[in-house]
Amino acid sequence: MVDAQARDEVVRFTSDLIRVDTTNRGGGDCRERPAAEYAAGLLAEAGIEPTLLERTPGRTNVVARIEGADPAADALLVHGHLDVVPAEAADWSVHPFSGEVRDGVVWGRGAVDMKNMDAMILAVLRLWARQGVRPRRDLVIAFTADEEASAEDGSGFLADRHPGLFEGCTEAVGESGAFTFHDGTGREIYPIAAGERGTGWLKLTARGRAGHGSKVNRENAVTRLAAAVTRIGEHAWPLRVTPTVRAALTELAALYGIETDLHDVAGPHDVDGLLEKLGPAAALVEATVRNSANPTMLDAGYKVNVIPGEAVAFVDGRYLAGCEDEFRATLDELTGPDVDWEFQHREVALQAPVDAPLFARMRAAVEEFAPEGHVVPYCMSGGTDAKQFSRLGITGYGFAPLKLPIGFDYQTLFHGVDERVPVEALHFGVHVLDRFLRTA
Ligand SMILES: [Zn+2]
């Protein structure tokens, strides 16, 4: 059972970790080492020997293994990242790196993404040390650097250079799952992630004939680029329902008493109609029933009366599992003959089985402490460290349990202003994580 010390510690650890500013501005501008040393110290106090690993000085990762009772069982990876996205103090009600606990709420950058989960993992492992608990299977714990940028100093580095630390791991749990989604009608839904869309950040380059802005020019690079960007931005991507999204839609339809047969999808209208009937809960699936490509940056020219020879744009593309080839072919078509495109950054799409015993155990752990809640699988629209660990053959799920009251919208708090987490939510998380990891 979770004791008073574990409940105190999860709050203190969340607050302490927030106070260690691990802002990741990208381009290598981040230092996770103090947070990594803090976490490693707490593990060492519990008799767990952590290994600290760096590709770049200051960009520290922590990995530890807790031996399970059943040596024949596969290992489970439990991971959380230590870095956070930037926060502009002037926009916040409290200082984003204060870690202040006020009226039962812990405030600060990382309160939900994801120093809360790091603190929960630490509190549970220390609880087990006090109580002599041993998990069924080996647990590999990883606190990573650089998740909020390229992961090259974090999970990517660990997967490439230290695969031996993850020996025997077949499954993983990490961020973005098992938080409360309020549907506005009093229902509480707990989505557990069983897949991620792939990432395709694209660079478009249009070439043309440079010249004077007052002359006739039918090979204007800016015009060519603008046309391609418009075609991409306005493209209606076709419906593609992956197994995880199908399971999500089926369970949500059942929850709302909507009759549907997704095994016989006649066309886009069925799913779009279903999404409409789901109301606010459609937010859990609507971004994952299609590939997407959003133009986000433009760069061309240097003077109003000079036509440049080249114009560049950037597009945030995402594709579902099994849909990457189609994504590429569509981009070839949309960009046309005068505009080249390339991946500036590419990450795989993930797909995890929702009928796995591990998923049932996650579901059971949430239902035990949130009996009024409804667990559903979902696919993440973006990506996490699970993509890097998938290279080691590890199937990743998003499971960082949090019971959030009405008014605490997870999606808004994530990377948002006034990111904060109720103390009660952290306590719930420790209970669920403890329950789940004992039985996983
Ligand atoms: Zn995160």
138 Cα: distance to centroid of ligand 1 (angstroms)? 24
Say yes or no to pLDDT of 267 above 70. no
In this prediction, residue 360 has a pLDDT band, given cuts at 50, 70 and 90, of very high
268 Cα: distance to centroid of ligand 1 (angstroms)? 32
Query: What percentage of the chain has pLDDT greater than the value 70?
Result: 98
129 Cα: distance to centroid of ligand 1 (angstroms)? 27
Say if residue 286 is exposed, middle or buried (CB neighbours under 10 Å; 0-12, 13-18, 19+).
middle
Say yes or no to pLDDT of 384 above 80. yes
175 Cα: distance to centroid of ligand 1 (angstroms)? 6
In this prediction, residue 269 has a pLDDT band, given cuts at 50, 70 and 90, of low
Question: Stretch 415-435: mean pLDDT, rounded?
Answer: 97
Dihedral sign for Cα 392, 394, 395, 396, please: negative
385 Cα: distance to centroid of ligand 1 (angstroms)? 9
- Per the annotation, the verdict on 88 as an active-site residue is no
pLDDT single digits (tens) 280-300? 999 999 999 999 999 999 999
Say yes or no to pLDDT of 400 above 80. yes
Ligand 1 (ion): which residues have CB within 5 A? Answer: 113-114, 175
267 Cα: distance to centroid of ligand 1 (angstroms)? 35
CA dist 351 and 198 (Å) reads 10
pLDDT single digits (tens) 39-87? 999 999 999 999 999 999 999 999 999 999 999 999 999 999 999 999 9
The single-letter DSSP state of residue 382 is S
Residue 23 CA to chain centroid, in angstroms?
17
Say yes or no to pLDDT of 264 above 80. no
Among 2-11, 113-122, 272-281, 325-334, which is the least confidently predicted range? 272-281
CA dist 271 and 249 (Å) reads 8
Question: Stretch 117-132: mean pLDDT, rounded?
Answer: 98
Catalytic residue among 147, 183, 347, 419: 147
Rg of the chain in Å (alpha carbons): 23
In this prediction, residue 103 has a pLDDT band, given cuts at 50, 70 and 90, of very high
| pLDDT score for 160 | 98
- Cβ atoms 145, 83 nearer than 8 A: yes
In this prediction, residue 272 has a pLDDT band, given cuts at 50, 70 and 90, of confident
CA dist 274 and 276 (Å) reads 5
In this prediction, residue 409 has a pLDDT band, given cuts at 50, 70 and 90, of confident
| pLDDT score for 270 | 79
Say yes or no to pLDDT of 206 above 90. yes
Say yes or no to pLDDT of 265 above 90. no
218 Cα: distance to centroid of ligand 1 (angstroms)? 46
Amino acid type, 178: A
In this prediction, residue 263 has a pLDDT band, given cuts at 50, 70 and 90, of low
The runs of H, that is alpha helices, within 102-242 are 115-131, 155-161, 221-234
Output the average pLDDT for the chain.
96
281 Cα: distance to centroid of ligand 1 (angstroms)? 22
146 Cα: distance to centroid of ligand 1 (angstroms)? 10
Buried b (16+ CB within 10 A) or exposed e, 344-382: eeebbbbbbbbeeebbebbbebbeebbeebbbbbbbbee
| pLDDT score for 266 | 52
Say yes or no to pLDDT of 268 above 60. no
202 Cα: distance to centroid of ligand 1 (angstroms)? 22
The single-letter DSSP state of residue 167 is T
Catalytic residue among 9, 32, 83, 118: 83
CA dist 270 and 289 (Å) reads 12
- Per the annotation, the verdict on 147 as an active-site residue is yes
pLDDT single digits (tens) 220-249? 999 999 999 999 999 999 999 999 999 999
66 Cα: distance to centroid of ligand 1 (angstroms)? 24
81 Cα: distance to centroid of ligand 1 (angstroms)? 7
In this prediction, residue 273 has a pLDDT band, given cuts at 50, 70 and 90, of confident
